[in-house]
Amino acid sequence: MSMLTGRRIDVDLVRVRDALTAVHDPEIGRPLAELGMLGEITERRGRVHVEVRLTTEDCPLSAEIRHAVTTVVAGLDGVREVEVAFSTIPPRERAELSERIRREAPPLTAGVGPGGTPVYAVVSGKGGVGKSTVTANLAVALAAAGRRVGVLDADVWGYSMPQLFGVRRNPVVLGELMMPVPAHGVGLMSIGFFVNEEQPVVWRGPMLHKALHQFVTDTYWGTLDALLVDMPPGTGDATLSLLEFLPDTTLLAVTTPQTTARVVATRVARMAAESGVPIAGVIENMSAAVCAACGEHNPVFGSGGGTLLAQEAGAPLLGQVPLDTELREAGDAGVPVVVAASESASARELTRIATVLPTPRRKLAGRALPLSVVSS
C-alpha cells in the first residue's frame, strides 16, 4: 500500500507479462513466453498468480524457474505476493514445439564466413594428463566471461563431465531433441547421463560413431560462442568420427611436462597435420606441484614437455597449469576450480588461458566458395 495515500496500487498485468520476457527456460535458453510456457496470469488484491507450463512433468529445474518468475514479478509496483503454479504442455503442443525448435536450431558449423560455432576438440596422446579437467574449467571460465558455451563429452569409455560438474540426471528430451544439461553456465551432454556411474560402456566403433552423431545432431545446442569437446585419449575412432561430423574442428592439445607424455602427444600432432586439422594451441597441465603451506612450485613431472610439443606442432603454448590442492579438491567435489577456488594458482591460469584461446580458422580446401558476377 502507498504510505502517502493509504490506497492500494493496482497491479498492471500487461507489465507483469512484459517483465516475464526476461525469464528464460534454463535448458532451451529462450523466453518462457516465446516457447508457449506462460499460461494464465491473474491478480487479486496484490497477489499475482502465474501459471508456467513445463515441457515435461518432472522438470528437474522447476525450482529454478519458480525462483526466477517470483523474483521478476515481486519487484513490480503493487505486488504483495507471487504464486507460481506448474502445469505441463499438452503432447500435441509439445510435439509442435519440438519441431519448431529443430527447424530453428542453428547448425554447429557453417560454411565459409561468419556464423559458425567455434569447435575446440581437447585432445591428448595418453590418459591421465588432466584433459577433462582442463576442458571443464575452460568452459566455465568462458561462460563466466559471458560466452555461450557447450561441452560435449566424447570420451565415451572414460566419461567424467558428470563428476567434474556435479550433475547426475537424464537430459530432458523434447520430441526427438535432447536438451543439454545446464551446470555452472555451461550446457553439457555426456553418455554418463544415461548410464549408472559404475557401469562400464563396452562399445565398438560403430556404436561409438552413432552415439557421437546423435550428440551432435540430436542435441539442441542453441546458438553457441564455443563448443568444447572432451575427446578420448589417442587418435582412435572417436577423433575420426568427430572430424567427420564437425569438419571445422580445431584441436587443443593437453600434455604434461613429462617426456613420455609429450612423445605420445606428438602422435596427435602428426595425425592433425596429416588430416589438415589445425591445432589452436598446447596446454601444459601439472606443470608444477604447488605447496599448500608455502606456495613453492615443485616440477615433480619434469619440465619442458609443453614447450617442445608446441614447437613440434607449430602451435602456441597457451599456458602452464600448476597442480594444487584446490584443483584436486574441486574435481572430487564436482565444482570446477575456477568457481570453487577462483584465486588458486590453477584457477587463475585456467581463467587466463580461456581469455587467449585463438579463434579457429576455417579450412577452405575442398569448399565451394561463394562467387558473384559483376557486370560491366
**Residue 101 covered by a domain:** no
**Residue 278 covered by a domain:** yes
Q: Which of 72, 89, 106 marks a domain boundary? A: 89
Mean pLDDT for the chain overall: 85
152 and 285 part of one domain:
yes
pLDDT at 369: 44
Residue with grid cell 529462450, as numbered in its chain: 30
AA letter at 85: A
- Expressed in angstroms, the distance from the first to the final Cα of the chain is 73
175 and 255 part of one domain:
yes
148 and 196 part of one domain:
yes
Q: Which of 73, 89, 105 marks a domain boundary? A: 89
Domain span at residue 21? Answer: 13-89
73 and 142 part of one domain:
no
Helix (H, G, I), strand (E, B) or coil at 192: helix
CA atoms within 13 A on the CB side of 29: 18
**Residue 223 covered by a domain:** yes
**Residue 264 covered by a domain:** yes
348 and 243 part of one domain:
yes
Helix (H, G, I), strand (E, B) or coil at 181: strand
pLDDT at 58: 85
* Burial classification of residue 325, based on how many CB atoms lie within 10 Å of its CB (0-12 exposed, 13-18 middle, 19 or more buried): middle
**Residue 300 covered by a domain:** yes
Query: Is-contact 248 219, C-beta < 8 A?
Result: no
79 and 193 part of one domain:
no
Helix (H, G, I), strand (E, B) or coil at 358: coil
User: Sign of torsion, CA 142 144 145 148?
Assistant: positive
131 and 276 part of one domain:
yes
343 and 212 part of one domain:
yes
Which residues have C-beta within 8 Å of that of residue 86, sequence separation ≥ 6? 51, 52, 53, 54, 59, 62, 66
pLDDT at 362: 56
146 and 283 part of one domain:
yes
Q: Which of 71, 89, 107 marks a domain boundary? A: 89
**CATH number of the domain within which 149 lies:** 3.40.50.300
pLDDT at 7: 61
59 and 197 part of one domain:
no
286 and 342 part of one domain:
yes
pLDDT at 376: 45
List the pLDDT tens digit at each of the 376 positions of the chain.
Answer: 444 445 668 899 999 999 999 999 998 989 999 999 999 999 999 999 999 999 988 888 999 999 999 999 999 999 999 999 999 999 999 989 988 888 887 766 533 334 578 899 999 888 888 999 999 999 999 999 999 999 999 887 788 999 999 998 889 888 888 999 999 999 999 988 887 776 666 666 677 778 788 888 889 998 899 999 999 887 667 777 777 778 788 999 999 998 777 777 788 788 878 878 889 999 999 998 887 878 788 887 778 888 888 988 899 999 999 999 999 999 999 999 999 999 999 999 999 999 999 987 655 554 444 444 444 4
* Burial classification of residue 3, based on how many CB atoms lie within 10 Å of its CB (0-12 exposed, 13-18 middle, 19 or more buried): exposed
**Residue 105 covered by a domain:** no
163 and 64 part of one domain:
no
How many domains in the chain? 2
> In the numeric block, which cell numbers belong to residue 303?
619440465
AA letter at 253: A
Greatest C-alpha distance within the chain? 79
pLDDT at 150: 95
- Find the helix or strand (DSSP H, E) in which 285 lies: strand 279-290
**CATH number of the domain within which 49 lies:** 3.30.300.130
